[in-house]
Amino acid sequence: MRQLIGDLRRLVGRSDRLFALSDLRALLPEHSDGALKSVVGRLERGGELVRVCRGIYMLPDVALRGSELLGHAAARLRADRFNYLSLETVLSAAGAISQVPMGRITVISSGRSSIIACGVYGTIEFVHTRRTASELAAELCYDSEHGLWRASLRLALRDMRRTRRDTGLVNWEETNESV
């Protein structure tokens, strides 16, 4: 167990790294699934690893907090899918809606729609899309704080309509000036 934590600390170039269970498996390839889960459970109980959500862990001294932590967790959870921040998360950051979603991020994903509870850290809402990265490339920019692509204000508004979300909180005067 000490070797695993030592390896994780050496791998981490910065103090904001999250680990999927598959990352931990790569460091302990000789362990069976049950043995790996047992090691991870012991490390978690001992305070050496912190569980963010199912299958995602971090070192206890990670610098990420709030929506940035949720963004990095979303990126790790759906690393094999096309994902980007949108909907209320982007609109709130742009001042286009009056309420700030606390402890929640909304992510458009080529994976299935789901809501992932991350305990004290908040909630990640994945909303499915069939659109591809090449279709939306002009409307996306990379958000390094969250570790995800971020929709433009215009795309976030179109996503709100497309997903039939409540647009009652949208400040249309603010958005028309920005868009």
pLDDT tens readout for residues 55-87: 999 988 877 788 899 999 999 999 999 999 999
The confidence score (pLDDT) of residue 160 equals 92
Whose CA is closest to 55, among 81, 32, 31, 79?
79
CA 84, 107, 21, 48 torsion-angle sign:
positive
Mean pLDDT of the residues in the chain: 87
